[in-house]
Structures are given as structure tokens and as C-alpha cells.
Structure 1
Amino acid sequence: MSSPADLPPGGEDPAPDHAAALALLRERLRLAHLHAGEPSLREIERRSGKGVSHTTAAAVLKCQKLPRWGQLELVVEALKADPKEFHTLWLTVRTVPSVEAKPSFAEAEKEGFDAPDAALALLGHGRSVFAVAWRPDGLLLATASYDKTVRLWNPDTGQQVDSRRRARHTGPVVSVAWSADGHLLASASDDGTMRLWSPEAGKQIGKPLIGHTGPVAAVAWSPDGHLLASGGSVDGTVRLWNPDTGQQVGEPLTGHTGAVLAVAFHPDGHLLASGGSVDGTVRLWNLDTGQQFNSRRRTRHAGPAYAVAFHPDGHLLASASDDGTVRLWNPDTGQQVGEPLTGHTGAVLAVAFHPDGHLLATAGRDGTVRLWNPNTGRQVGEPLTGHARSVSAVAFRPSGHLLATAGTDATVRLWQLTAEHEASREHLEEQIGCLRARVAVLRRERNELAAHLRHRASS
């Protein structure tokens, strides 16, 4: 148990030091555990859906070293505490200086603790990995590969989840997407089909969805889960499907003069974006009318548009292209916003917004992953390197603190974002100010709780 002397001093110091910040996190975990009724380690393991083992839960609660955020988050949720508060505490420990040597990546992996910029490699696919998608609760990661399989992974252990439940196509799998409730997984393949899978049941649901006249290059699920969208790499059409019946909805959406390589739903579900290869255009479709939206102001790259993604609030659309640029567009007007984002030395193959919209991740044929501030168009931090070949997919964990990437080197990598990536210096200073105030509140809460326990013990 921590004593008051272990807590950071309030008010007069310019910032808490590392040891004091870690002590505050440890004390807050103790209080959360106490408020939750002091559940056993096995119970925490059960509540986390076995996302953390009882031994990992013990290490997190002891908090002698800074745990990985993903493990801490699961323990906090099992204790029914506030993840946002704990992430602020965790980020402060990561940010303030430490006089202790940081563990090597190998030590961090062995002990279950975080090492900055370390990328955990998920190995299992035998060929290029083309797509990654997080289940909405962030506890599973789905990957799709040229080896004709879709695989599921536990992001905190890096292990496949019941490899016997691996989903298979008869051709390379190039795209994958989760339903909003996380119960179904859709996959698109060069075999000309889309398939729906139940990861829980470990089997395909219904018959393959067939309609495109060639390979299916992309699949996306609408926010309400009532529609699937797909893009054809031969017929150049976008098609909509009812996932309950497996039937097409309406007529194919036509307009691209070549393959449709990407599709993405607007957060409100009424617009759909698609990216084309030959024509290099990004098109918007009004799903209420089935017509192109703002077709006179069609957005265009100088090469194929490989990926599209909407900002979480829908006010921006990002597209990535063979021309080596990422462009931001206003979906209401079709106008480009700011200058193209340049930095990749080859084609940009994937793009994804952070869940809170403050970062944009891109991946390219140059083997790098880059992070950008979409408000300024500036790159954030150094490129993330680790893949041996092209990086074909990027996706942020729904909590926002982990980035998954996949490449033609047959690996999937998980990146823990550094403090530089997660917050600006000004934002960190604001957080530290809030933490000082929180220290006083925690002290008062601890004293009140201690008094209550003494009273209960004496009565």
C-alpha cells in the first residue's frame, strides 16, 4: 500500500516526476479495486473475457512498472472504473522523465510491459496480408491475406484465437470488416465472393454473396449494420447488400471507369465514398437516392485511389493514391482541403483516422507508416519502420492507443503510440495541471474511504 508520502506533491512543483506519477497510478488502481469490492484476480480475468490472465492482472495492480495500456485498460474496465481517467494517468507516467533505465523491447515483451515505439509482430499468415480490422470492442483483430484465410488475433497476447476457426476463401482475401455489434465479420476475395462469418460460432453464415463479375476488392459495413457495400475490381461497380438476406439492394452504382478499390461509409450512413483505379477519382454516393452526390465536383488523384476513410465526425474525407499523396476533401462541397500530404516515397496504399480524429495514419509502398495532424497537414513524429516490404493496411484500435499495420512481408504489427503521437506538448501540460487537481481529490477520497472502513470495522 502506498503512503501519502508516495504521492506527488500538489501545486508548487512544475510537474510530477516519474516515480510520483507511477505512485499516483498505483494508488488510484488500489482505490478502484477497493471500490469494486476487491474482486479476485481470477474474477478480473473472467470479467475481461480472458483478455488478461490473472497473473497479468496481478502485475497491473501492483504497478511496479508501467503496464501496457491495453492490459491496464482491460483491468480498469473489469473494475468498472473510468478508462479516460486512467489513460490520462498512464500517459503522464509515459511522458515525465524517469531516472530508471527503460526495459528493452525483449524485456518488455517478456514481462508484459510497454517499451516505446515497440512493434509486436503477429506471425501466422503464409503470404501478403492485405487488410486489418478491429472488432468494435477492440478485443479482437481480424486480418485478411493472400493465403486465402481470415485470421483472428488477441492483440494483448499476439496469439491467434482458436486457429481451427480460421475463415477460408478459394482465392486471396483482400478486405475485411466487422458489423457494428461485432457479431459478424465480412470478407471480400479475389474468388469473386463476399462471405459472412460468425467468429463465435466459428463458421460461415449463409451462402457467399455473389454478384460482381470478377474479384471483389473492398467491403465495408454501414454504421447501423443494415447494409454492406462492396467494390468490384473488374466490373467497376459498387454494390449494396442486405446482410440478413444476402441479396443485393437496388441497382449497382456505376460511374467509375475502372476497378473500384475502396469503399467507406460516412458516419451518418447516408453517404458512401468509393475510390477508383483507372480514373483516379473518389466518388460520393447518396444512398437515399442511389445517385452520385455532387458529381460535378468529383475529386481526383493523378493515379489510382487505393483507400478512402471518413473523419469520425464526417467533416473530412481522406484518400490515398498511387500518386504518392494523401488528400483531404470536404464531402459536402467536393473541394480539396489544404495541400496534399506528401512524405511517402511511393504509392500510398492505406489510410485511417484515429477514433478521436486528431491523427491520420497512412501506409505506403515505401514500407513506412506515417502519422499526420489532419488540421495542419504536418507529419507527427518519425515514420514507423519495421515492415520489410510494402505496408498495405492500417487501423487504430477503437480505444485509440494501438495501431495495427499489415504488409506484403506476411506480418501484422501492433504499435503502441508514443506520447509525441498521442498529444501535443500544450495538451500534456494541460493534463498535468488537471492531474495536480486530481491528486488533491484522490487524497480526500482516500481519507474518506479509510475513515469509512475504520468506522465499519469498529461497528
Structure 2
Amino acid sequence: GTVRGVAWSTDGRAILGCCLDGSVRVWSVDTNDDATVTIRAGVDGTYSTTFSPDGATIAVSCFDGWVRLFDARTGALRREWDAHPGSTCHATAFSADGERLVTCSWDHTARVWNPDDGTPIATLDASDGVYAIAISPDGSLVATSGSTIIVWDVATGSRRHVLAADGAEPTRLEFSADGTRLASGWSDGIARVHDVGRGTLVSALGVPGPRVETVTFLPDEERLATGDVAGTVRVFPVSGGPARFTVDTGGRAVNHVASAGGRIAVATDQLWLVDAARGGIVFGTAPHDDTIWHLSWSPDGARLATCAMGGVIRILE
């Protein structure tokens, strides 16, 4: 079935795929064999999956609202709980130290859990459905995306900031590596960077236009790459100003961008590799027969994993 997302283990030796048919599969990158572990995680389907920071546990968010944690080596179920009763669980994310697991749902909440026993730590009550989450590197803050972005204090469950744009809704969220800034794409064609401590706007990047579907900080943390539904990739200085360069992928909607080692990988119905310094297209290829939903660099930046609607994961050197 369709593979919605891929994730690497922290040592780069295993790749994790999440499928709409409710299965999760783990492959050993070194052997290139069939899946070493196949997990039947959700009866109706799964939304997302991720490794814990130590690589020992796989967390899966399911259509039925449950969160299920599995042993990454054996596939055995470790624990499960109904994280969002009567609703769906859209996403899961571990804090960097692995001590917290955050989930979100259309039930207007994001919830923070102790992954060791499934006990709740905090319920973050948003004003509408939450379909994306991001955790600050130190685990103290959670950002949720609905009709607005809300930045939450995990310790107290209180709102730190509400970030909004007139007539626009946020799409993708990403904290900077030092946790001081939050980048977001918006439906009005603008990417925005906010100061997390103050809740103030650092920069609004671009001009009104097609929805910005994906954003990512480049490794230097001074530039931001964006991709929109019209097929345009732009790289901006985080502090503000015009785009350093623009790349046109030919009108194909950009679903995801990710950067490593001086390159930006771009997912449309093809895979594009862009020079992060000069902006030229290094190459374009079609590793799948259909739309690429997601891509992910290995921790060392040497390999790139892509997944698509057809149920295939490709790993490129």
C-alpha cells in the first residue's frame, strides 16, 4: 500500500516505513533484503511512525486514535493506549532525550506522554484540530499547527504564544537546531520565522502566492528552504530579504524538502537534487512511478530514502 513516511534509525543502519494499510516495516540497509520486521500496527491504517532517539522503540500513530509502541528489533508490541478516544492520532514525536512522546489529533488536542508507561504528562487544548507538531530540541516546548500555530510550555501545559497570519493557515513546522526559532509554511504563499522566546515575527519570506507546503532550515541555520504547490523551491536568509535563489521543478507540487551536505532534496512526482550554495539542479530522477510523499537523509548525509504512493521505498547513495 501507499507509504506515507520514512525514518532512519539514529545509527543509519535501519529504515522505517509507514503504510496506509496499517503496517509498519523495518529494513536493514546493509543487507538490502526484504523487511526484517513487519508490524501490523493499526487495523484501519497508520498516519506516521518514528524511532525513539535510542533506536530501540518504534512509535506509531493510528487511524483509531491509539498509539502503539513496538520493539524495533523484534516487532513485539511493548505498550499501547487510546491517546485520542473517538478520534484519530495524526502524528507522534519523541523529545530528543526520549523521555516524552507527543501526539496530536483532530480532537483539538496535542498530548504529552511518558513513553515508558503511557501515563499522561500534559494535555494541550487547542481551539481546533491539530494536524502537525514539533518539539523544541530541549523538549521544553511543543508547537502545534491548526488554523494557527500555538507554542506550548510542556511543564505547565500553558500557551506561550499564538502565532497567526490574517487569512492564512500554517502547513509545516520546524524548530531551529538551537530551539530559538520556529519556521513555518503558510497557505498564503509566505514562509514565516518566529522568535520562540518572544513570540515575535523575525521574517516573512516571499510574496503572496501558492501555498508553501514544506520548509526546512539548512544546516548552517542561517538559510531556509521552502517548497510550494506550484513546484517552486526557494532559499531565503532566515533574517529576511529576497530569495537567494529560486528553482522551478516544472509546476509539480513540492511535497517535501530536506537538506544535508550542501544539497537540498526535493520531492515532487520526481526527485530533484539542488545545489544549496548556487541553486542549480544537480540532477532529477524518477525513482518511483508515482508521487513522492516523503524523503529523508541518513544521519551521515550519505544516503537518501524516498517513499511514494505505490508502496515502494528507494534508498539512493
What percentage of aligned pairs have identical amino acids? 29
Of 341, 356, 372, the residue aligned with 2:235 is 372
Distance 2:309 2:192 in 1: 24
Deviation at 1:359, TM superposition (A): 6.3
The answer on 1:214 being equivalent to 2:87 is yes
State the Cα deviation string for residues 389-431 of structure 1 (Å, max 9, x = none).
5543343322234443434454444455xxxxxxxxxxxxxxx
- Structure 1 consecutive aligned stretches of length 4 or more whose deviation exceeds 6 Å: none
Q: 1:145 to 1:224 in 2, by over 3 A?
A: same
Of 382, 396, 410, the residue aligned with 2:297 is 396
Match of 2:144, SS state, is strand
Distance 1:342 1:389 in 2: 30
Of 235, 239, 246, the residue aligned with 2:111 is 239
Distance 1:140 1:371 in 2: 31
Aligned AA for 1:248? Answer: P
Q: 1:393 to 1:370 in 2, by over 3 A?
A: farther
Identify unmatched segments of 5+ residues in structure 2: 246-275
Of 107, 111, 135, the residue aligned with 1:265 is 135
Q: 1:220 to 1:247 in 2, by over 3 A?
A: same
In the alignment, what sits opposite 1:282?
A: 149
Distance 2:151 2:119 in 1: 23
Match of 2:201, SS state, is coil
In the alignment, what sits opposite 1:133?
A: 7
In the alignment, what sits opposite 1:191?
A: 64
Distance 1:321 1:247 in 2: 34
Aligned AA for 1:197? Answer: F
Distance 2:226 2:303 in 1: 14
The answer on 1:326 being equivalent to 2:227 is no
State the Cα deviation string for residues 97-139 of structure 1 (Å, max 9, x = none).
xxxxxxxxxxxxxxxxxxxxxxxxxxxxx22x22222212222
Identify unmatched segments of 5+ residues in structure 1: 1-125, 417-459
Q: Where do 1:325-344 residues align within 5 Å? A: 325-341=190-206
Distance 1:402 1:341 in 2: 31
In the alignment, what sits opposite 1:256?
A: 127
Match of 1:216, SS state, is coil
In the alignment, what sits opposite 1:435?
A: none
The answer on 1:305 being equivalent to 2:170 is yes
The answer on 1:151 being equivalent to 2:25 is yes
Match of 2:102, SS state, is strand
Aligned AA for 1:393? Answer: H
Distance 1:372 1:413 in 2: 26
Q: 1:200 to 1:272 in 2, by over 3 A?
A: same
Deviation at 1:237, TM superposition (A): 0.6
Q: 1:411 to 1:334 in 2, by over 3 A?
A: farther
Q: 1:293 to 1:148 in 2, by over 3 A?
A: same
Q: 1:315 to 1:192 in 2, by over 3 A?
A: same
TM-score normalised per structure 1: 0.53
Q: 1:290 to 1:322 in 2, by over 3 A?
A: same
Q: Which of the pair has more CA radius of gyration?
A: 1
Structure 1 or 2: more strand by fraction: 2
Distance 1:382 1:409 in 2: 29
Distance 1:158 1:370 in 2: 32
State the Cα deviation string for residues 337-394 of structure 1 (Å, max 9, x = none).
3332579x8544444445564665556655x694735547534435666366554334
Q: Where do 1:52-131 residues align within 5 Å? A: 126-127=1-2, 129-131=3-5
Distance 2:227 2:289 in 1: 13
Distance 1:310 1:200 in 2: 30
* Contact in 2 for aligned 1:309/1:351 (Cα 8 Å): yes
* Contact in 1 for aligned 2:83/2:103 (Cα 8 Å): no
Point out the more displaced range, 223-232 or 375-384. 375-384
Deviation at 1:158, TM superposition (A): 5.3
Distance 1:306 1:372 in 2: 17
Match of 2:86, SS state, is coil
* Contact in 2 for aligned 1:355/1:396 (Cα 8 Å): no
Aligned AA for 2:94? Answer: W
Distance 1:403 1:359 in 2: 21
Distance 1:219 1:200 in 2: 20
Distance 2:121 2:188 in 1: 34
* Contact in 1 for aligned 2:28/2:36 (Cα 8 Å): no
Q: 1:316 to 1:326 in 2, by over 3 A?
A: same
Aligned AA for 1:179? Answer: S
In the alignment, what sits opposite 1:105?
A: none
Deviation at 1:273, TM superposition (A): 0.8
In the alignment, what sits opposite 1:112?
A: none
